[in-house]
Chain A
Amino acid sequence: MIAEAPSMNAPVVRARPQRPKKFVNLRKFVRHPFAIAGMSILGVFVILGVFAPIIAPYNPQASIFIPMQAPSWQHLLGTTNTGQDIFSQFVWGAQTTLMVGLGGGVITVVLALLIGMTAGYLGGTVDAILNTMSNIFLVLPSLALLIVIESYLKGTSPLINGLIIGLTGWAWGSRVFRAQTMSFGSRDFVVAAKLSGMSNLRIMWTEILPNMYSIIASNLTFACLGAMLAEAGLAYLGYENLNANSWGTLLYWAGNGGAMLSGAWWWFVPPGAAIALCGMSFTMMNFAMDQISNPRLATFKKRRKPRVQSNSGIGA
């Protein structure tokens, strides 16, 4: 009856699952055209940001150049009205903005997970309290809340901004995770885990959380997008340390320096376009994730044999 009958000293050779089966979704993701496009675009800006110290030709704050120059080989994105090199500002701005976007997004998701899962799994009074809290945060207009906080703090650095964005933006994600946790919590395999003596914390960590990876990933892309846009918005409105270097402050100074009036498109178009492109790349990655986790959303190639097509009105 014994499956393996090892001799006393022979090591037990274990069967190993083939790795691909476990990460099948991840592999599908990196092959999906939308995901590839999104990651490439984002990748360009990430490289710019990571290697900013090497790539940026000048000190972004140095106002030593001829102001309001159009793009040239010495100044790839021209200069500001105070004679600063915009390209250097742009590259350093990439670093800051992306750090805030990704950092703020991660903080948001972690908080949302903690609060949402606890509420969904434990239920009862804990759920009622956490639910009320998240409802409050949901109802508050987030940008207005951020502005109010900022105006007390007076000119915070982008990183602090990122933290604040993370601490206030978790409500929507927590609802999603709460609902997911509740639906898993009533499944038989969770009841079986309880019956086998697992503690609640362990159940949440080993039984429920691994089932939520794709929805966490999807949430993360949205959260990063939101954080990035929030930071840009706050900076543009002047609620950030104006000496900081981010795409948002770049836009602020562009507005302040009359770039639009004087037609200095090289000042405000690059940061705006960069924000839009990064936002789009997050969205594209999210789209790819949706298609993979819900196969019914996927579109199919046209079949070669048109003779016996399904009724076109009721097909896919």
Chain B
Amino acid sequence: MSSPVMQKNALAVGQPMVQVEDLVVRFPIRSGVRKAWITPVDHVNFTIGRGEVLALVGESGSGKTTIGKALMRIVEPSAGKIVVGGKDITHIKGRSLADYREDAQMIFQDPFGSLNAVKTVEQHLYFPLKKHRQLRGDDLYIKAGELLELVGLTPVRETRIKFPNELSGGQRQRVAIARALAVDPKFLVADEPISMLDVSIRAGVLKLMNQLKDDFKLSYLYITHDLASARYFGDRIMVMYGGQIMETADSRELIRRPTHPYTKLLLAATPGNPIREKLPETSNLAPNLLEGRTGCVFASRCPLVTDRCRDEMPKLTLLETGHSAACHYAS
């Protein structure tokens, strides 16, 4: 396999691939006559190193998809800073944004929606290969075949001319991964890539992503609602709720010794978890994302809630090396 293209902007030794500082994303919503704002991403900080996988775990409405979109610059941040590969990409446009597309790519959740029904498998790869690797003719054809081989879509000769409706969900996701790799990126945002796949197929796709990470020293932001796959694929896990980080730790550590009540709730709710503690009876209200909310986002559902929680928003505090939680009562 051809070696990765030389880094365009070599990182300093030890510098993380992705640095997110105080990221805020706000959207206007129509609430009656007046415009209100919601903050699905509310002052979020994290880093991802080279060849590292950060798993971002949360339910719907947690803001995890919005962070992914902000990192890909599909959505522009309202405040804060995002640095990828040493470059500040927070507000870039035009030429710089086009260049960024060679550094970071995205894999989407829905295998059926992420491919174009009228294009064959190989046709999905041609444009990025032409544009970013300047390949033509036979070279283009061969390279496309190599990529398909890389993601396990064998026999390549047969699958390359198939249309998406002739492929299974797992195969389509592999095509999507091949397309993402066509530009030779350094960083991938994977937004729930396996949640719509059959259970028996998921492991194969996760293992592929793992293999590619090792082969190309890729960094991943792996967005999921499933703690089990986060534990498997992620080096570190970040738990989000209502736009804020609740807890972050090394993945093994988080599962073994969760400190935040929300993390404990997620763990208790995950099927296959032998620890079946009775789930505390909490209301199932969606988190309040409106700007100007006070106190802890999780207060309305927390079994440990006190008045202090409702008034004062807990800060993300470091409990041990690499393990932080945002809770007044985290032990």
Contacts and interface: CB of A to CB of B under 8 A. Distances in A.
Interface of A: 1-4, 6, 11-12, 14-18, 21-22, 187-189, 191-198, 207, 210-211
Given A17-B120, A188-B108, A191-B74, A3 B145 contact: yes
A193 B124 CA distance: 9
B50 interface: no
B146 interface: yes
13 contacts: A3-B145, A11-B138, A16-B161, A17-B161, A17-B163, A192-B106, A192-B108, A192-B114, A192-B176, A194-B74, A195-B106, A197-B183, A207-B116
Contacts of B138: 6, 11-12
A2 B157 CA distance: 12
Could you say which interface size class chain B belongs to? 35 or more
Given A191-B74, A197-B132, A210-B118, A3 B110 contact: no
Nearest to B1: A1
Interface in B96-117: 98, 101, 105-106, 108-110, 113-117
A139 B179 CA distance: 45
* Chain A facing B: main interface SS: loop
Contacts of B101: 195-197
B149 interface: yes
Contacts of B132: 196-197
B239 interface: no
Contacts of A210: 116, 118-119
Contacts of A3: 142, 145-146, 148-149, 156-157
Nearest to A208: B116
Contact of A192 (B109, B145, B179): B179
B113 A15 contact: no
B117 A211 contact: yes
Contacts of B116: 189, 193, 207, 210-211
B172 to A, nearest CB: 10
B150 interface: yes
Contacts of B157: 3, 15
A197 B131 contact: yes
Interface string B144-158: 011011100000111
Interface in B278-318: none
